[in-house]
Amino acid sequence: MLVAPLGARLRDVLRRNGISPHSRATRRLNCGGRGLCATCGVRLVDEQAPEHWHDRLADRFGYPRLSCQLRVDGDCTVQLDREKLVWGRRE
């Protein structure tokens, strides 16, 4: 269980706690949290309403959500995909 301040970006919370939302290939090759590369995808077990344009598409087509664009607004359960491809994977 991780504790985060309200409004914190999920990607930052994960990384501060030694958990990378990136695959081994994209840990160094990513956009730094600007929502451009789609390499920090996570699956939310407790769905939150999409805020970022990519997250609206992810919600519509079943792609992972961008952890760099998700703000912590309460309790949530996150599933990381350690086997993901560079641009994520559909379920």
Going residue by residue through the chain (91 aa), what tens digit of pLDDT does each one get?
788 888 899 999 999 999 888 877 787 888 888 888 888 888 888 766 777 777 778 778 877 888 898 888 888 888 887 665 555 444 4
Phi/psi at 53 (nearest 5 deg)?
-60, -40
The vertex-4 CA angle with 86 and 88, nearest 5°, equals: 10
pTM of structure: 0.74
